[in-house]
Amino acid sequence: MWSGPDVCHAYQIMKKGGLKDENIIVFMYDDIANNTENPWPGVIINHPNGTDVYAGVPKDYTGNNVNVHNFLAVLLGDNSNLTGGSGKVVNSGPDDHISSSTTPITRRRKAISPTALKAITTYVRPSSSRVPHLLGPLEFDQKWCS
C-alpha cells in the first residue's frame, strides 16, 4: 500500500531513473507536508534518517481532485471530463507501459477498492495510439528500478 510519502519517494526514484515529468502523473491528497503536526513544514521524510522526498514532486491532482472520476478520466486520456487538477492525462497506446499504485483512504491495511483512492502515481511512456499495457508492481520495478 502506498501513502503520500511513498508516492513522493516513488516519484524521486522515477526521476533518478531518468523519467521526465511529462511522463509522470501524481495523485496525492497532499495533506502531510504542511500539516500542523509535521515538525518540518514543507518537508516529507519517509523513513528514519531519510531525506526530503516532497521537494519537486508535481501535484497534478490533490485534495478533493483525488477521486475515481478524475483517475478514470486520466487513464482514458479524457481531459474533457476532469473536475480540477492539472489537466494532465495519459496519452498512450498499445506499445506503452503504465504502472499505477493505490492506497486506501484509511491508513489501516485493508483491501483496496476503486472508491478508496488515497494516492496514485502513474508512469506513462507517450505514444500516438490509445490502449496501453498495464505493468504490475514487480514488472515496473524490474523495468525501471533495477
In 3-state terms, what secondary structure has residue 64?
helix
| pLDDT tens per residue across span 109-135 | 333 344 333 333 343 334 434 444 455
Cell numbers representing residue 89 in the block? 492525462
Query: What's residue 101's pLDDT?
Result: 66
CA 135 vs CA 16, 66, 95, 103, 109: distances in Å: 19, 21, 12, 17, 23
Task: Please name the residue ranges forming H helices in 45-96.
Answer: 68-75
pLDDT on residue 4: 78
In which residue ranges of the chain is pLDDT below 50? 1, 104-133, 146
Using DSSP, state whether 98 is helix, strand or coil. Answer: strand
- The reported pLDDT for the residue numbered 73 is 87
pTM of the model: 0.69
Question: What pLDDT is attached to residue 98?
Answer: 77
Domains of the chain: 4-144 (3.40.50.1460)
| C-alpha–C-alpha distance, residues 15 and 121, integer Å | 13
